[in-house]
Amino acid sequence: MTTSQKIIEYIEEHGQVTGAELADYLDITDRAVRKQLKTLLDNNKVAKTGKPPKVYYSIRPKTTPILKTEDLLKSIDKNIQNIIKDNFLYVTPRGAMLEGLDGFFIWCHERKLDPITTANAYKSTLHKYRKYAKHGLIDGMYKMKSTFDDVALDNLFYIDFYAIEVFGKTKLGQLLLFAKQSQNQKLINELSDIIKPSILKVIKEYGIDGVGFIPPTVKRELQLIKQIQKRLNLSTRTLVINKVKTPVAVPQKTLSKIEDRVINAKETIVVESNDSYGNILLIDDAVGSGSTLNETAKKIRQKGLCKGKIIGLAITGSFKGFEVISEV
């Protein structure tokens, strides 16, 4: 029996094992085990979960397809392949992040979808949603004006929709969700780097000289918006905006009524800055109702801090009306 066969047999018997366990069992070095495991991973025989120092190996499910066969790629237009490479991200139930064609093929296989037909559908769906974007940003002001009688924002943009039909969360939507929920610094950095060009574009186009970041409600070890602010390292002045601590923290995402969201934002958001600004940019992670951005803009105007425009910019937003994006 070969070493790789012994490894497969041991994993089948024990379910999930570490490299150290295998080294002890086989009485070989850690380096030798890593070499064997790499071969098994490359051949889709085993799957890896976790990250150093706690990494576990298990038998890869037989349903996982062999990716990117030549025949399959020949059947998908190069332009569509590039669209998938640039936009598709699949976070598996195991927590693996599969981008581009690899993720797309596995996603299709697990849902018993024909990858060729689905690839064409993906292109059409993206085109449908991208037509709402102008110069790379989605205009959300029509939602604000149809929802609120008193709109304090002059413009509202978001960089992408949070989710689209059939395919679920967009790449940016998934990065936002998992960066926030897992408090993963690497994901937060990746997310920040992706959105930075759009933020700089708005700052330049609208002559922004003051930027405010909407504060979080729930206390976390790594606060997403604070980490993004730090990573962006913008040269513009920063407005001080805080969230009042209440006996019970009530996140906006837990409120289903617009009226409740307005009250929540109005009573808990505080603008502490007293400087004067020309145009101000307010940055939020996701636009659900728009209440927080609008109420923050109202407070800025009530204090007479802005002489020009107030622009709202969110990483993602909902497509139909102001649904509650309950996950983030």
Question: Which pLDDT tens digit goes with each residue over 47-79?
Answer: 888 878 888 989 887 654 555 567 778 889 999
Measured distance CA(316)–CA(322) in Å, rounded: 12
> pLDDT by residue (tens digit) across 7-23?
999 999 888 899 999 99
**Which pLDDT score, from 0 to 100, does residue 72 have?**
78
Measured distance CA(266)–CA(52) in Å, rounded: 44
**Which pLDDT score, from 0 to 100, does residue 328 have?**
63
With beta carbons less than 8 A apart as the criterion, state whether 212 and 280 touch.
yes
With beta carbons less than 8 A apart as the criterion, state whether 297 and 310 touch.
yes
36-40, 45-49, 281-285: the lowest-pLDDT one = 45-49
* 3-class secondary structure, 243: strand
Provide the token pair at 121. Answer: 């559908």
Q: Give the single-character DSSP code of 309.
A: -
Provide the token pair at 314. Answer: 């969110």
Residue 285: count of CB within 10 angstroms of its CB: 22
- Please check the confidence at residue 195 and state whether its pLDDT lies above 80: yes
* 3-class secondary structure, 100: helix
With beta carbons less than 8 A apart as the criterion, state whether 257 and 323 touch.
no
In the chain, % of residues over pLDDT 70: 95
The pTM (predicted TM-score) of the whole model is 0.80
**Which pLDDT score, from 0 to 100, does residue 130 have?**
85
Provide the token pair at 295. Answer: 């109420």
With beta carbons less than 8 A apart as the criterion, state whether 115 and 167 touch.
no
Helix ranges (H only) for the chain are: 3-14, 19-26, 30-42, 70-74, 78-87, 100-110, 115-130, 141-147, 171-182, 185-205, 224-232, 258-268, 291-302
Residues 6+ apart with CB under 8 A from 205: none
Whole-number Cα distances in Å, 53 to 18, 19, 49, 50, 56: 10, 10, 11, 8, 10
**Which pLDDT score, from 0 to 100, does residue 237 have?**
95
Structural domains of the chain in order of their starting residue, each with its CATH number = 3-59 (1.10.10.10), 70-130 (no CATH), 133-317 (3.40.50)
Whole-number Cα distances in Å, 202 to 34, 152, 227, 310, 325: 47, 18, 20, 11, 24
- Please check the confidence at residue 178 and state whether its pLDDT lies above 70: yes
Residues 6+ apart with CB under 8 A from 64: 44, 106, 109
Q: Give the single-character DSSP code of 88.
A: -
**Which pLDDT score, from 0 to 100, does residue 147 have?**
85
35-39, 116-120, 157-161, 258-262: the lowest-pLDDT one = 258-262
Measured distance CA(145)–CA(258) in Å, rounded: 14
